[in-house]
Structure 1
Amino acid sequence: MAEQLTVLLPGGAASPRCAGVLEAALAGRRAEVLTRLEAPLHGRRLLFVLSLDEGGVNHSVSDLLAALRTHPGCLEGCVGGVLTDAPGDLYTKAAGRELALAANLAGCAFVGRPLVEGTGSLRNFTVQARNAGCSLDAAYRLAAADLGSRVLAFSPPRLARPRLLVLHASSRATSNTLALWGLVRDRLGDRCDITEIGLRNGTLEDCAGCPYTTCLHYGEQGGCFYGGVMVQEVYPAILEADAVVLLCPNYNDALSANLTAAINRLTALYRTASFADKAVFAIVVSGYSGGDIVASQVAGAMGMNKGFWLPGRFCMLETANDKGEALALPGIGERAERFAENMLCQLL
């Protein structure tokens, strides 16, 4: 276990509640508090603390985002978590996702469930407080302390031969995203076992929000009320995989409907199986722009909600519109090579 947390508290100011929660998270631990990113922080265990105002804004957070985005590799080898706090019930998750993507592209890995949010009402801790038999405020502090522990304890699994599960909902005849995956797959060589599952042709029912007890019942049996390809193919493959690779064309600045449905349907499995030792990667292709929005959705849905860990630089982001255009992009072979090598570096 790492011995010290490095806390990045942009601007150095925190609301009284946020300061108290941070104190609880650091209790009994060695910690260094930085108020800005002035130099590379390689190999650190990081806790980003974002104290927002009523509008969900902290101008020092914007400065931190700019520093991360303009200094690739400045967080190489780091492992992180994020604590966001605001007086209102909005913007905490959006701020956390934006920060996590910027830090990840700068080289920082994130543990599964890396975000602890303190909304104004703290009603987002209702279930945790009930389970722990404590107040909402106490549940918030417990979650922050747990996040600090998990960031310090996390050790990325090292695998002799990683098992990759590739999920997509694209047509091989026209998909730039699948074409890019082909480049990456070729560069992975024979160092991984790869399973590909296509989720097309109306084979996938979306989650309909079954009652918790129903979802838990089916999850305990390794299934889901709606069955189908998710239960027959995806659930077993998820359980066997060391990493999931999502192939994500940008549809209206969002994940495709079938990929979204697949992530939603993981809830039944997530109730009974931990994904904390499973990584997630993504290849995102936009026709025009907005790849960062889709990448943030993947980080939020798979990492912050379903608990997969996020390797540093987990996503490959490209822009291509016409059929075949992706393979003709300048330097695409070198970028595919770097992405494949990063996948192997994170897993082997």
Structure 2
Amino acid sequence: MRVGTLEGIACCVTTNRRDDIRERAIIIINERNFTEKRAGDFLARQVKAVINMKTSHTGEKVTSGVERLVNNGIPVFDVSQPTNIEQLKNNHKLRIVSKQLYVRQIGKWENVASVKAYDIEMVDQLNDLAEKKANEFYHKRMVNEIDKMKSHVERVAAFFANENVRHDQGYRPIWIVERYSKLNEDLAILKRFMKRQNPYIVAINDSYEDLIKRGLKPDVLFGTESQMDQGMIQDVLEKQRKLCFTKGVSRNKECDQMINLGSDLISAIAYSLKRTKGAVFYLGEVEEEERAQYVLVEAWNKNRVFHLKAAAAMFRSRLEEDPLHWMMTRHSMLGADGWI
């Protein structure tokens, strides 16, 4: 966009409120990579131009803010070499000419900064650069995830190859419980069904305490030793329950075994699949960094690993019905070990 001499009244905008944008003014902002929504606010107020103290489009990510304004004939400038830019205040008269910004001071025009103007060609180049960077980033991330997945597959395979698969619980279902924001609420809903099913219970870290409070007795305390309260560990040992650690080198001689397959959850699932031929139910929230591994484990063990959080949500919405009767009459749940 070719810009000749441009004059107008300054409006310094420091908030995201549209009402703070003065109509038909030259807007002064301090926003890096301003968004298309922000551009919409400027268009709605019919501003003359936008002068940015930061970079309006860095080329680091695709953004349509500058493009939208330029396409609608509103010039966008970045301040490139400020000199007395702090002099800019609301209601000052501004003039932009030959890439220089002037402010009217005591009856004369004073140069306060050099500015850089955007045009469509420049915006397209910056968006192309941003897309290239994004593609490189996601490609690198995908390669990294694939490498992590391969490593995970090898570790899980080695675990089952080197350990005797005992299945000492027969077809008894195993519940893996991990603390999350609504665990106590969901345990209250599922407790009746859980007791009827009589599962082998694996508690990950501090969910052990939540289960005890609900009158449920975990068979195994599983997780990272550093995240476990020593009183909780002592309670496990006094009640002769199993103790499994997943990270580090345990100094606790009472630890049954160390299983480190990348995360507490994945290690607990692998451990559980070794203990039973039946179903493994997980009640908790899968963290983002272990989601890919969890999905892979589910795929490997089709119809054996089930996520219970969704079931708890279904129960919660239908508490007027008997939960057991409701689930037993739902075809989608039939066939999973222990459900009926």
TM over 0.5: no
Per the normalisation by structure 2, the TM-score is 0.29
Over alpha carbons, which structure has the higher Rg? 2
Per the normalisation by structure 1, the TM-score is 0.29
Higher RCO, Cα 8 Å, sep 6+: 1
